[in-house]
Homo-oligomer: A and B are copies of this chain.
């Protein structure tokens, strides 16, 4: 199943419009190209609708948002919805400021998202109104652990049911769920948290996966999550003495570039719950 999802992305080369933060945008573009998709970025309201129209998916990432780009998110989002494109929200920093939380809420009220992907603090802030988010990284107290796994799976499925979206909560353990079933994924390395933007990269790549696999969206979102985590493992194995987080960033994207279906299937640490 994972291999089929990967092959579909390489065959269909989905064009993904990203309204995304300028901190990690270059890596987002390169990982989309690495996985077989194609990126385009436009965040001027008078440009974003037409650019969205030629794409297959729209990723809205609210890091470094401003009032101009918020308007672009709404206008492009409506157009994407109208055209039946894959719509994915990455609520970077939700819970950390009223503007970020409010923007995420407002987008979710207006638009039906196919996928919402974030860290556990961001998703809890949106689902529960809790405000423990610390910046753009998850609060350790919120983390998905083996001890609270059942509870977190329930939370994820329940939030998927109430939003109608696939919910992807990524961290040491990743959960990707709709209202009925939840993939638990244990790929990845803790050192990925020392690189800026692995979450942003996964969001864009997940959009490419879902866009290229319209008949198995949940599986595609899970496959993208496995791909990111496994690439983190493969990239880490290639680290040389003296290498650090900047080189690690390159090696992860490189691993996505070189991934094939067989390696993805064999390296996956995934179970369905």
Contacts and interface: CB of A to CB of B under 8 A. Distances in A.
A33 B246 CA distance: 10
Contact of A67 (B22, B46, B100, B251): B46
Interface in A172-217: 194-197
Interface of A: 15, 21-27, 29-30, 33-34, 38-44, 46-47, 50-51, 54-55, 63-68, 93, 96-100, 134-137, 194-197, 234, 238, 242-247, 249-258
Given A47-B99, A66-B68, A247-B254, 17 more contacts: A21-B41, A26-B27, A27-B246, A30-B196, A40-B93, A42-B64, A44-B64, A44-B65, A46-B99, A47-B65, A50-B97, A51-B93, A51-B97, A238-B242, A246-B251, A246-B253, A247-B251
22 contacts: A15-B134, A15-B135, A22-B41, A23-B25, A23-B26, A26-B197, A29-B196, A30-B196, A30-B245, A33-B194, A33-B245, A34-B244, A40-B135, A41-B63, A44-B65, A44-B66, A50-B96, A50-B97, A54-B96, A245-B257, A246-B250, A247-B254
